[in-house]
A = this chain, B = another copy of it.
Amino acid sequence: VPTFKLTIAYDGAAYAGWQAQPAVRTVQGTFEATLEKITGESVRVTASGRTDAGVHALGQVVSLVLSTSLPPDVLLRAFNAELPNDIAVLSAEIAVDGFHAIRDARRKRYRYLLHDGPVRSVLWRRYCWHLPYQLDEGAMHRAAQGLVGTHDYSSFETSGTERLTSIRTVFALSVTRRPTDELLSRADQDLPLVAVEIEADGFLYNMVRAIVGTLVEVGRGTQTEAWPAEVLAAGDRRAAGRTAPPQGLFLVEVQYDPPTKGG
Contacts and interface: CB of A to CB of B under 8 A. Distances in A.
Interface of A: 9-11, 56, 58-59, 80, 85-90, 111, 113, 119-123, 125-127, 178-181, 183-186, 189, 193, 195, 250, 252-253
Give how many copies assemble into the complex.
2
Contacts of A58: 123, 184-186, 189
Contact of A183 (B123, B125, B178): B178
A85 B183 CA distance: 20
B127 A184 contact: yes
A251 to B, nearest CB: 10
A123 B127 contact: yes
Contacts of A59: 186, 189
Given A120-B80, A122-B9, A125-B85, A183 B113 contact: yes
Contacts of A86: 122, 125
A107 B18 CA distance: 47
B88 A121 contact: yes
Q: Which 9 A-B pairs have the closest CB atoms?
A: A11-B122, A9-B122, A181-B181, A58-B186, A59-B186, A88-B122, A86-B122, A88-B119, A10-B122
Given A183-B178, A184-B58, A90 B119 contact: yes
A44 to B, nearest CB: 23
Contact of A122 (B87, B123, B186, B252): B87
A25 to B, nearest CB: 15
Contacts of A183: 111, 113, 127, 178, 180, 193, 195
Contacts of A127: 123, 183-184
Contacts of A111: 183
